[in-house]
Amino acid sequence: MSLLGSLLGCKDGGAPIEASRIKSVRCSYGGGMTGGGESSELARQKDGTVTLVTSEREWHNSRERTVTYTLDESAFERFAEIANTYDLRRASKRKMSDLIAYDAATGTISYTLTDENGGYDINNSFRIHSNQELTDHEREGYRAVFQALAELAGSNEGVESIEPITASLSVRGVQYRFFLNESSASHDLAGRCPLTVEIENYSDNEKIFYLDSPLDVSDTPLATGAAGTICYYAPWNDVVIFYGEAAPAEGLYELGVCESAFDVQYIAEIEPGEAHFSTNFFVDDDGGEADAAAVGSICYVSYRNGGGMDGGSESISLIRDENGDVVLEYERSEAPGDEAEPERFVLGEGAFDEFLGYVDEYGLRDASERPESEIQALDAPTRSITFGFSDEDGDLDADSLFTVTDTQDLTDEQRDGFDTVITALEELRSQQ
């Protein structure tokens, strides 16, 4: 019987239950729950090898950096000892705390066990969350798991890798995605993003847009002109996207390729006009890769015109989508049931900044808890603002949603904040 099996027990008196993986995740929700995070996963693979994989993201949609370590079976022994010493299985059953700071860092550890048949033993696997009401002794064990994983990584040699640079070209709401290479020209282009560009047709096999200044091509590979590649043509200082084959040319450098071969045929259909180019790569003032701006959050604002609740509605939505693009949508209906195509505008990454600031400045999260006013005109217009934020996976976190309405009994400061948000959104829309 393995040490882990003797400490954590057996299922129905059968063979020892052995952990197949032990994982820790720590998420930093700075900047309106849009921060990055890190994880460590110790896993026993099907071929019997033991690996430790650590990963880190500076911000929600910045590039993930991973390091993979190959270890021996004894790596699991310390975690079995911790689980036994601190009774972590019992700790996993503690209730969640009623007091949670929504923008605070969070962490989890999980033990995934296997049964005698090599499958996951769901009944005996367990997870502990930092927001559970743990005893001091249990919390010490929780922290010991994080510490043990960190020491494993610090005492072994690993193989480091980094997620590719991804780029997104947004044209009238349609996204075209690319993988960029690690050349100096790609880094230079990505470091200038987000960019608003003018797409033009050229010849019968490419779309182009011009840059304000030349890219650094010092270690950039020459391009072959293959369909589905994104390139830089130095003599004209333009970015070229080939949807048809082209011949190599002097001064034509390759930046990357389309994420999907299926996108190539659709690139040919892009009409000339304004587009937005963004990436998951960010550069600080010293030229190194840096933290991304706060990303992944979703801010939605709507207000409804009453008239006995039979009037129309008007809404302005500010959304950061799964590609990291910030989109403003405006929709108006004259009567209930009207269906109008929303106006849609792609904005710069900084469009969210002021709204995230208003949440704290005017205490809008607290405002959402205020009671409804006892005096209301039933046929009066009503307005509401809903804020939502994304979790570490980029999905909308339902627990983060909160709504403020003008029918609530708000303080003067909160009402000022309510009006300020709507005014700012109306001004943002009028500028498009």
Domain boundary among 140, 161, 182: 161
Residue 316, domain CATH: 3.30.1560
**What pLDDT is stored for residue 125 in this prediction?**
87
Q: Does a structural domain hold residue 374? A: yes
DSSP string, 257-283: EES-HHHHHHHTTPPSEEEEEEES--B
**What pLDDT is stored for residue 243 in this prediction?**
92
pLDDT of residue 400 exceeding 60: yes
Report the alpha-carbon distance of residue 186 to residue 193 in Å, rounded: 11
- Give the residue numbers spanning the domain of 393: 298-430
Q: Does a structural domain hold residue 264? A: yes
Q: Which of 118-122, 209-213, 267-271, 302-306 shows the highest mean pLDDT?
A: 209-213
Q: Does a structural domain hold residue 209? A: yes
Domains contained in the chain, number: 3
Q: Does a structural domain hold residue 284? A: no
Domain boundary among 136, 161, 186: 161
pLDDT of residue 99 exceeding 50: yes
- pLDDT band of residue 59 (cuts 50, 70, 90) is low
Q: Quick one: 49 and 191 in the same domain?
A: no
The tokens describing 292, both together, are 């991304």
Average pLDDT, the chain: 77
Q: Does a structural domain hold residue 352? A: yes
Q: Does a structural domain hold residue 287? A: no
Q: What is the pLDDT of residues 227-266, one digit of tens each?
A: 999 999 999 999 999 999 999 999 999 999 998 877 788 8
Residue 245, domain CATH: 2.40.100.20
Q: Which of 92-96, 125-129, 206-210, 335-339 is least confident?
A: 335-339
Domain boundary among 141, 161, 181: 161
**What pLDDT is stored for residue 10 in this prediction?**
37
240 strand-pairing partners: 208, 231
Mean pLDDT of 71-95: 89
Q: What is the pLDDT of residues 137-180, one digit of tens each?
A: 999 999 999 999 999 998 999 888 877 888 888 887 778 889 99
Q: Which residue has the higher pLDDT, 3 or 40?
A: 40
Q: Which of 225-234, 344-353, 367-376 shows the highest mean pLDDT?
A: 225-234
Q: Quick one: 145 and 18 in the same domain?
A: yes
Q: Which of 265-269, 321-325, 362-366 is least confident?
A: 321-325
- Contact between residue 21 and residue 4 where contact means Cβ atoms under 8 Å apart: no
Q: Which residue has the higher pLDDT, 200 or 370?
A: 200
Percent of the chain with pLDDT over 90: 26
Helix, coil or strand: residue 347: strand
- Contact between residue 178 and residue 257 where contact means Cβ atoms under 8 Å apart: yes
Mean pLDDT of 302-329: 63
DSSP 79: H
Q: Does a structural domain hold residue 285? A: no
Q: Quick one: 180 and 304 in the same domain?
A: no
Spatial strand order of the sheet with 326-333 comes to 343-347, 326-333, 313-320, 298-304, 382-388, 402-405
pTM of the model: 0.51
Give the C-alpha distances (Å, rounded to integers) separating 284 from 196, 281, 290: 20, 10, 5
Q: Quick one: 254 and 154 in the same domain?
A: no
Q: Quick one: 181 and 151 in the same domain?
A: no
Q: Quick one: 262 and 332 in the same domain?
A: no
Q: Does a structural domain hold residue 417? A: yes
